[in-house]
Amino acid sequence: MRPVYPSKTFPNLYSLATGLYPESHGIVGNSMYDPTFDASFNLRSREKLNHRWWGGQPIWITALKQGVKAATFFWPVAIAVERRILTMLQWLHLPEGDRPYVYAMHSEQPDTYGHRMGPMGTDLNNPLRAIDRIVGQLMDGLKQMKLHRCVNIILVGDHGMEEAHCDRTEFLSNYLTSVDDITLIPGSLGRIRARHPNNSRYDPKAVVANLTCKKAEQHFKPYLKQHLPKRLHYANNRRIEDIHLLVDRKWHIARKVPEGRRYCGFSGDHGYDNKINSMQTIFLGFGPLFKFKTKVPAFENIELYN
């Protein structure tokens, strides 16, 4: 299954839930700035809980509007995944009038270990086996309730994982005379805006020109957002910065070279162009509505909702 771009967690979780591209539902990154709100959104702030950021209609609201109950168990991460499965099985024991019809659960474990260990290391096998055991726990619980042939289960990932390391980082300070007037959201893709919104000297076209084809071995390509490939559907939202950097797989982009030694805390990352094979992820369906032992061609994750 193909994630939406950027192949990051929050944009894809919400695209799975709404059937919309990030430019339409508004969650254009794990971190973002809204010039109308004059506010920032990131995974560590309480601002992410403010409903004003979240557009579209997630499937649990669609279910409620169609007269059926829905239950979700995404956060907090402090609750063990095994406990989340147990809670969902307990929900299935509720009286018919109280029992949800649609369930959704998220596990952050594969992503956490993929970043830490990288996608190719054998150290990742144990965390993957743990997820397999958790799926087994769900199936065992359904079998005990004699529901394993009655419910439809969809198991999906939100994105893939690629090898990455701090040693493979491009720095804008190696391309631009000064980076003092810009803000960069760094990582496996780059989004650039003026550091001060009313800076009359900031010219996105000039910045893109100064970053284009400057080195024989250049591991990113700059775009004005309206010139990004249309297949990415990543332009029509005020939270998407005017300048976007598509970064080569395995590489990162940062604003300037850090001073002194630095610790590199990751061996894997995602967020790259969603056509790259390593960004693809799993779709598995099981239940009476799914054909048995059938393999389908790759499809975009927005199709799940639709």
Q: Which residues are marked as active site?
A: 9
| Residue found under tokens 């099985």 | 89
Which two three-digit tokens encode residue 103? 């369930």
Which residue, 258, 255, 260, 259, is CA-closest to 176? Answer: 255
CB 243 within 8 A of CB 37: no
Strand 70-73 relative to strand 102-105: parallel, antiparallel, unpaired? parallel
* Contact of 33 with 302, CB cutoff 8 Å: no
